[in-house]
Every structure is written in structure tokens, then in C-alpha cells.
Amino acid sequence: MSRSSSDDDWSTIQTEANDDPPPYDDVEASYRLFGTIQTVLNSERGEDDDPKETESMRKFLLYCLSVDYRFVGHYELPASEREKYVELWDTMSKIRDAHNRTDITEYERCVLGPYLWKYLHKPCKRLSIPVECAVRATARLVKYSDGMNRYKGCLHGILHNAGPERLANKLWQDRNILIPRLADSELERQGFTAALTTFARQYFVTIDGVNSTISADRFGEWDHDSDVSYRLTARGLYYGLAQSSSIGAAVGDYARGSWEILRSCVRDLGHRGGIFPEGKRAHDRRATWNGPGPLTSGHPTDVGLRSHLRGWFWYPECHLPDFFEHRPGKDRCDT
């Protein structure tokens, strides 16, 4: 077997007979090989001298995932644990803000370093998950909680605030990193993955993986870029276009003080007759996707999604993504 290349000095690689891998019927050699692998993995993970915090981080992330994907299961976040992760995010935010203005002193490093190691870095190391995933989870816990400090989930918030690309990143990381490494059993992993897929199919045909590039210029400056490759459904494409045009119109109209259209719209809503008999409001099971073109075959219908995500109520004043999808009845809730 040979390989030619114009990019390196290896013009030809010839496979010789003695290049074949050694036979693995040698039990002692196999033990040495596996022992080396185990030693390296153990050194990477380190000893877990604080299993309580490792388990605390695992349960916290599973709680966030269960709310995000409305996964049916029993996951708790006690008040004390919630306050711990809110304080962790508050500490990291203050460190970041201070870092932009001043240098952190040696004393402050000695105080803050052990705190971040105990509650953030060490648990992530033991769970074999990137620290960035845990940091984002704490930020979203704070950002996407309601007035009673109940976490609402972040998926539609990410879609609205950052767009489909950031949502694709979140879904890919959860599917390929967090769920496999946090789930307690194969059944739980499959359940989380199925719930994630149900949501993802609303906006994505596929989410393929991470493309990475790295380069350095002649001054030695490094540039490392990565993005998740994905394809949007008709609904995902329509969402992005509707959001951009709606926000563009708002900035253009309201910045000039043109409020009469808004007032007229609100008056019409106030005078409109009831949709349900005797003023009763209920879930609109007839709501269907009415964007430009049908959903890809095999994707869930709105009826199926609303049945799967039962208990997920939509308040129009708090759930802006619905305004950019124009799906009738999606913003109603039980009374």
C-alpha cells in the first residue's frame, strides 16, 4: 500500500510484512497494553476526593437537561443547590467584569482559585465534561428562570436570543457530550436522546458535527475557529427570516416614534371576540405548521409535539419565538 503527497516529505509509504500488528494471543502483552491505557485515563481524571461535589454537578446538569427537553423523570434541584450554582455564576461574572478593568491580586487568586476548583473544575474533570458546558448551564439557570426562580428551559431562549447556529451547538454538545457522560443508565441515555431529537426535528434536518480550523500568521498569532455543521428544516429557515424582518421593522418604525400601528393592533386584540365557547380557553390541538412549505416527511406535527411536551405552557408575552413563527394557537395556555 502506498500514499503519495505533495504536502510533506513522505512521498511513498510502503507496508512491509513485519509492519503487521503483533498477535494478541499473548496475554501478558495484552495486560501491559490495557494497563497503560488505564494508567493514562486515571491520571487524566485524578482521584475523586470530593465525590459529593461530583454527584452534585451531575445532578444539577441532569436537572437542567430534563427541563430543557421535558424529559419525563424525577430530577430535583433543592434550594441550597440552586443557590450554590447561582452564587457560582455570580462569582464568575464578577471575576470576568473585574478582569476587564484591573488585575486580580495574589491574595484574590489564593481565595478564588480553590473555590472554583472545588465547585467547578474538579467535578467537571471527574465527569469528563468540558468546564465550558457547566459554566453555560449556570448562566442559563440564572437567565431563564421565572419570577418564582423556577428554571424554564433555555432552548427557545437560545433560538430567539442567539439564533439557530447557537442552538445547533447546544443540541450537539448535549447529544454527544453531556447525555452520554451524565446518564445513569442506557435506558436514561436513550430517553434523553429521544426527547432531544423530538425537539431538534422542529428546526433541523441534521446536526452533523464540529468543523474546526486552526492557523497562525507570520507574527505567531493563532486563530482557532470551529462551527457545528447543520441543515435547517423549512420551519427553521422561516423562523430566521421572520425574526430578522420583524426585528428590522421594529427598529425602523418604533425608533421614529411611529406608535399608531402598535396602538391599533392592541385595540383590535381587545375588541376581538372569543375563540372558545363561553370564553373558556384551552390548548388549541388544531394548531398546525403553516409556514412556506411542508415539514420534511417524518418530522413531528404540532399536535404530536404538544402532546409530547404536555405541561409546557406558552405565555405570549414571555415567549417571543412564537411571534416569529405565526402558528395559530401556539401561544395559548390553560386557565
Counting Cβ atoms within 10 Å, is residue 253 exposed (0-12), middle (13-18) or buried (19+)?
middle
Strands (E), 86-176: none
SS (H, E, C) 1-56: CCCCCCCCCCCCCCCCHHHCCCCCCCHHHHHHHHHHHHHHHHHHHCCCCCHHHHHH
- In this prediction, residue 106 carries a pLDDT of 87
Cell 453531556 locates to: 178
Cell 423523570 locates to: 73
Cα distances from 83 to residues 65, 74, 92, 138, 144, in angstroms, run: 18, 20, 14, 11, 15
- In this prediction, residue 25 carries a pLDDT of 60
- In this prediction, residue 289 carries a pLDDT of 35
Q: Which of 24, 151, 181 is nearest to 75 (CA)?
A: 151
- In this prediction, residue 249 carries a pLDDT of 63
The beta-carbon contacts of 34-37 under 8 Å, at least 24 apart in sequence, are: none
For the chain, give every domain's residue range.
51-214+225-232, 237-324
- The x, y and z cell numbers of residue 41, run together, are 485515563
Pick left, alpha or beta for residue 50 (phi over 0 → left; psi -120 to 50 → alpha; otherwise beta).
beta
- 278: DSSP letter: G
Cα distances from 81 to residues 94, 119, 152, in angstroms, run: 20, 11, 17
Q: What is the spatial distance between Cα 201 and Cα 295, in angstroms, rounded to a whole number?
A: 9
The residues, any chain, with a CB within 8 Å of residue 294's CB and separated by 6 or more, are: 234
Torsion of CA 202, 72, 145, 112, to 10 degrees: -110
- The x, y and z cell numbers of residue 73, run together, are 423523570
- In this prediction, residue 327 carries a pLDDT of 46
For the chain, 335 residues long, give each residue's pLDDT as a single digit of tens: 444 444 444 333 344 445 566 555 666 666 677 677 767 666 666 666 679 999 999 999 999 999 999 998 889 999 999 999 999 999 999 988 887 788 888 888 888 999 999 999 999 999 999 999 999 999 999 999 988 888 989 998 898 888 889 999 999 999 999 999 999 999 999 999 999 999 999 899 999 888 888 887 777 777 777 888 999 998 888 887 777 776 666 655 554 555 666 677 677 766 666 544 444 444 433 333 333 333 333 444 444 444 444 434 444 445 555 555 544 444 333 32
Question: Which three-class secondary structure state does DSSP give residue 115?
Answer: helix
Pick left, alpha or beta for residue 10 (phi over 0 → left; psi -120 to 50 → alpha; otherwise beta).
beta
Q: Which of 132, 156, 133 is nearest to 69 (CA)?
A: 156
Task: Provide the whole-model pTM.
Answer: 0.68
